[in-house]
């Protein structure tokens, strides 16, 4: 990405983030950010009032639709705002906002279309407070995903991500889940259409105000990942083609054959 400076839009998928939103926003390197969009997913605290006080571009769901549904609104509104690069920054202060230039760097330099901020590069996240069972599950699931996707990533389960506009436009975001598994479905979509994915190391914080899934929630999430991988394998083998994994550009190109059986 050369020539004119790309427009960087930060999106914050928020749910009851009143205790940490100000801290997160205060540490965003504003010289690298053109617009901050916050999407509130039915918070019952003061998240909306604080977002207005900070002057954020605010969109409010009239209920708690889920993390995936929140991201769909985030990306839809970021693209509508003419973003060249979209960066997801969780407003719970778990990921370091000051690292945004490192997150967007590979995209700006033309080396990647999607960048993941990895907690497992450059250090042991258990020393930063990651529960041991979550660390083991992360390593196990990442190993499976690398085998299925043919990649060598350190982790897939990060909430700190940057996307080139064309990457988001190439996949069917709206077909993904409204829940947490959205993060893995969109990666499967990117793999299928040949998107270049890079990683940069990011530390993370674990403290009471930072959102963190419970053991039961993490178990459900892990099982959902296995289902996504199974669907991806079936899609790639041609046994059960999934519309969600097909490129939007290919599917809607003039003269393109009709989509196979959808899932």
For 160, list phi and psi in degrees, rounded to 5.
Answer: -105, 105
Q: Which superfamily is assigned to 8-251 in CATH?
A: Spore Coat Polysaccharide Biosynthesis Protein SpsA; Chain A (3.90.550.10)
The pLDDT confidence band at residue 130, using thresholds 50, 70 and 90, is confident
According to the model, what pLDDT value does residue 3 have?
64
Mean pLDDT of 147-176: 96
pLDDT digits (tens, 9 = 90+) for 185-217: 999 999 999 999 999 999 877 655 555 567 787
- Which of 18-32, 85-99, 126-140 comes out lowest in average pLDDT? 126-140
Assign 131 a pLDDT band (cuts: 50, 70, 90).
confident
**Average pLDDT over every residue of 231-238:** 97
* Dihedral angle computed from the Cα positions of residues 245, 190, 73 and 65, in that order, rounded to the nearest 10 degrees: 60
pLDDT over threshold 70, residue 96: yes
Looking at residue 245, the DSSP 8-state letter turns out to be G
Alpha-carbon gap, residue 138 to 248, rounded angstroms: 30
Q: Per the structure block, which two tokens stand in for 156?
A: 């897939």
Q: Count other C-beta atoms under 10 Å from residue 8's C-beta.
A: 23
Q: How confident is the model at residue 172 (pLDDT cuts 50, 70, 90)?
A: very high
**Confidence (pLDDT) at 218:** 82
Predicted local distance difference test score (pLDDT) of residue 245: 94
Query: Tens digit of pLDDT for each residue in 240-252?
Result: 999 999 988 644 3
Q: What percent of the chain has pLDDT over 70?
A: 88
> 125-130 long-range contacts, Cβ below 8 Å, gap at least 24?
125/203, 125/204, 128/203, 128/204, 128/205, 128/206, 129/204, 129/205, 129/206, 129/207, 130/204, 130/206
Task: Give the confidence band of 257 by pLDDT, cuts at 50, 70, 90.
Answer: very low
Domain regions of the chain by residue span: 8-251
Q: What rounded mean pLDDT belongs to the chain?
A: 90
With bands split at pLDDT 50, 70 and 90, how would you rate the model's confidence at 105?
very high
pLDDT given for residue 240 in this prediction: 95
- Write down the pLDDT at residue 225: 97
Percent of the chain with pLDDT over 90: 77
């Amino acid at each position: 990405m050369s020539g004119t400076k790309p427009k960087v839009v930060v999106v914050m998928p928020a749910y009851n983030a009143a205790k940490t939103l100000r801290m997160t926003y205060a540490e965003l390197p504003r010289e690298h950010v053109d617009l901050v969009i916050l999407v509130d997913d039915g918070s019952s605290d003061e998240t909306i009032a604080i977002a207005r006080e900070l002057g954020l571009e605010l969109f409010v769901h009239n209920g708690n639709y889920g993390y995936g549904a929140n991201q769909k609104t985030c990306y839809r509104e970021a693209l509508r705002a003419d973003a060249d690069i979209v960066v997801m920054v969780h407003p719970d202060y778990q990921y370091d906002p000051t690292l945004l230039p490192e997150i967007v760097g590979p995209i700006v330099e033309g080396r990647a279309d999607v960048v993941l901020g990895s907690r497992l590069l450059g250090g042991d996240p258990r020393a930063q407070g990651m529960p041991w069972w979550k660390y083991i599950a992360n390593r196990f699931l990442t190993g499976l995903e690398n085998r299925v996707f043919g990649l060598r990533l350190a982790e897939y389960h990060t909430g700190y991500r940057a996307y080139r506009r064309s990457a988001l436009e190439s996949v069917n975001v709206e077909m993904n889940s409204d829940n947490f598994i959205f993060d893995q479905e969109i990666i499967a979509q990117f793999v299928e259409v040949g998107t270049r994915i890079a990683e940069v190391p990011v530390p993370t914080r674990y403290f009471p105000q930072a959102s963190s899934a419970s053991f039961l929630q993490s178990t459900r999430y892990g099982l959902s990942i296995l289902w996504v991988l199974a669907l991806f394998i079936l899609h790639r083998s041609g046994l059960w083609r999934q519309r969600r994994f097909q490129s939007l550009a290919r599917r809607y190109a003039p003269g393109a054959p009709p989509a196979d059986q959808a899932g």
